[in-house]
C-alpha cells in the first residue's frame, strides 16, 4: 500500500497531498471527516485496491497538506475535492465514498456535479445537525481550545466502541496532547462548518442512487441521522453495521469494504 507521494497545487496556493492505491479498475475517491486525514482509510483502501484505483488524501491544513489562504469551509473543501478529481481523473466518473463530514462534502459535490460520479456512498453522515450534535460539538469545540489533551481523549472514547478504546488507547489515555494555535483555529473552523450544514436544498438535487451506511453504536453521529438522511434522499438505500462506533470503516474494514464494493459494482454496471 502506498504512502502519500503526490501533491496538487490549488488555486489559493494550498498543496493537497494524496496517494493512489491500485493500478487497474474504476476510480474510487475516499473522503474522511473532521480529522481530514488519508490514514483513516488505510485498511479500506488496501482491500479496494485489488479491483479499483483508490485515491485518498489529506484535506487542506491536515497532515501533509498545507492550509493555503482560504478559510476552511465546506464550500472550500468541496472545491478542493473537485480540483483534485479534475486533476487525477479528468475524463472518467468517480465512485465517491464519504464518511462523516466527508459524507457532507460528498453530498454537496454530488448535488453540483452529478456527471462526475458513477456511484455514491455516505456513511456515518447526516442531513442536518440536531440538538444532540450541537451540544456534543460545542463541548468538543470548547475542549479543543481549552483542554486539547481531554479533547483528544474524548474523541477516542466517542469514535470507537468500548472494547477498542480499552485495547488501543488505555495506556496513553492521559498523554498530553500538543496543538498549535493555527491547528486549533483550523479545527474550530471545521467544527463550525459541519454544525452549520443543512441538507435542505442539497440532498434533493442528488439524482444518483445512494448507499447510506450507519452503525448502531455510533455516539458521534447516531444511527437515526443516517435514517433521516436516507429519508431525505430521492433515491437511496439504507444499511447498517451493528457495531464499530463512529469509526466503523476502520473497525469493520472488511464488512465496510464489502458493502462499498457491491454498491460500486452496481454503479459501474449502470453507466
- DSSP letters, the chain, are -PPP-EEEE-TTS-EEEEEEE-SSSSEEEEE--TT--GGGGHHHHHHHTTTSEEEEEPPTTSTTS---SSPP-HHHHHHHHHHHHHHHSTTS-EEEEEETHHHHHHHHHHHH-GGGEEEEEEES--SB--HHHHHHHHHHHHHHHH-HHHHHHHHHHHHS-HHHHHHHTGGGTT------HHHHHHHHHHHHHHHT-B-TTTGGG--S-EEEEEETT-SSS-HHHHHHHHHHSSSEEEEEESSS-TTHHHHTHHHHHHHHHHHHHHHHHT-
Cα(232)–Cα(226) distance, integer angstroms:
10
| Sign of the torsion angle spanned by Cα atoms 145, 130, 156, 6 | negative
Average of per-residue pLDDT across 90-111: 97
| Cell numbers for 185 | 483555529
At residue 124, does pLDDT exceed 90?
Answer: yes
Render pLDDT for 174-230 as a digit per residue (tens, 0 to 9): 555 678 889 999 999 999 999 999 999 999 999 999 999 999 999 999 999 999 999
Render pLDDT for 45-73 as a digit per residue (tens, 0 to 9): 999 999 999 999 999 999 999 999 988 99
Q: In the chain, what is the greatest distance between 2 CA atoms, to the nearest angstrom?
A: 51
At residue 172, the pLDDT reads 57
At residue 268, the pLDDT reads 57
- Sheet with strand 236-241: strands edge to edge: 6-9, 15-21, 53-57, 27-31, 94-99, 117-123, 210-215, 236-241
Q: Phi/psi of residue 178, each to 5°?
A: -105, 125
At residue 4, the pLDDT reads 87
At residue 167, does pLDDT exceed 80?
Answer: no
How large a percentage of the chain has pLDDT more than 70?
94
At residue 270, does pLDDT exceed 60?
Answer: no
At residue 201, the pLDDT reads 97
Average of per-residue pLDDT across 127-140: 97
pTM equals: 0.94
At residue 166, does pLDDT exceed 90?
Answer: no
At residue 184, the pLDDT reads 93
Using 50, 70 and 90 to split pLDDT, how confident is the model at 269?
Answer: low
At residue 127, the pLDDT reads 98
What's the mean per-residue pLDDT of the chain? 93
Using 50, 70 and 90 to split pLDDT, how confident is the model at 164?
Answer: confident
At residue 265, does pLDDT exceed 60?
Answer: yes
At residue 149, does pLDDT exceed 80?
Answer: yes
At residue 11, does pLDDT exceed 70?
Answer: yes
Residues 30, 56 contacting (CB under 8 angstroms)? yes
Range name among 35-39, 109-113, 265-269 with the lowest pLDDT average: 265-269
Sorted by sequence, the CB contacts under 8 Å of residue 169 that are 6+ apart come out as 153, 156, 160
Average of per-residue pLDDT across 236-256: 95
Using 50, 70 and 90 to split pLDDT, how confident is the model at 267?
Answer: low
Amino acid at each position: 500500500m502506498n504512502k502519500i507521494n503526490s501533491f496538487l497545487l490549488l488555486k489559493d496556493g494550498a498543496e493537497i497531498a494524496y496517494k493512489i492505491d491500485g493500478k487497474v479498475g474504476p476510480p474510487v475517491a475516499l473522503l474522511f471527516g473532521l480529522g481530514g486525514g488519508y490514514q483513516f482509510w488505510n485498511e479500506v483502501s488496501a482491500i479496494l485496491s485489488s479491483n479499483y484505483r483508490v485515491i485518498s488524501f489529506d484535506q487542506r491544513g491536515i497532515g501533509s497538506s498545507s492550509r493555503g489562504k482560504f478559510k476552511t469551509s465546506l464550500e472550500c473543501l468541496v472545491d478542493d475535492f473537485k480540483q483534485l478529481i479534475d486533476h487525477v481523473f479528468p475524463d472518467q466518473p468517480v465512485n465517491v465514498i464519504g464518511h462523516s463530514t466527508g459524507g457532507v462534502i460528498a453530498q454537496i459535490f454530488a448535488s453540483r456535479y452529478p456527471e462526475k460520479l458513477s456511484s455514491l456512498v455516505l456513511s456515518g453522515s447526516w442531513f442536518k445537525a440536531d440538538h444532540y450534535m450541537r451540544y456534543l460539538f460545542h463541548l468538543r469545540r470548547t475542549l479543543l481550545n481549552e483542554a486539547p489533551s481531554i479533547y483528544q481523549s474524548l474523541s477516542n472514547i466517542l469514535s470507537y466502541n468500548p472494547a477498542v478504546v480499552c485495547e488501543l488507547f488505555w495506556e496513553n489515555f492521559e498523554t498530553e496532547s500538543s496543538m498549535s494555535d493555527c491547528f486549533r483555529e483550523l479545527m474550530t473552523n471545521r467544527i463550525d462548518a459541519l454544525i452549520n450544514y443543512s441538507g435542505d436544498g442539497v440532498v434533493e438535487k442528488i439524482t444518483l442512487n445512494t448507499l447510506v451506511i450507519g452503525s448502531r453504536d455510533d455516539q458521534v453521529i447516531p444511527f437515526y441521522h443516517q435514517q433521516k438522511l436516507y429519508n431525505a434522499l430521492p433515491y437511496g438505500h439504507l444499511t447498517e453495521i451493528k457495531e464499530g462506533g463512529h469509526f466503523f470503516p476502520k473497525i469493520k474494514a472488511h464488512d465496510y469494504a464489502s458493502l462499498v464494493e457491491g454498491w460500486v459494482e452496481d454503479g459501474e454496471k449502470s453507466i
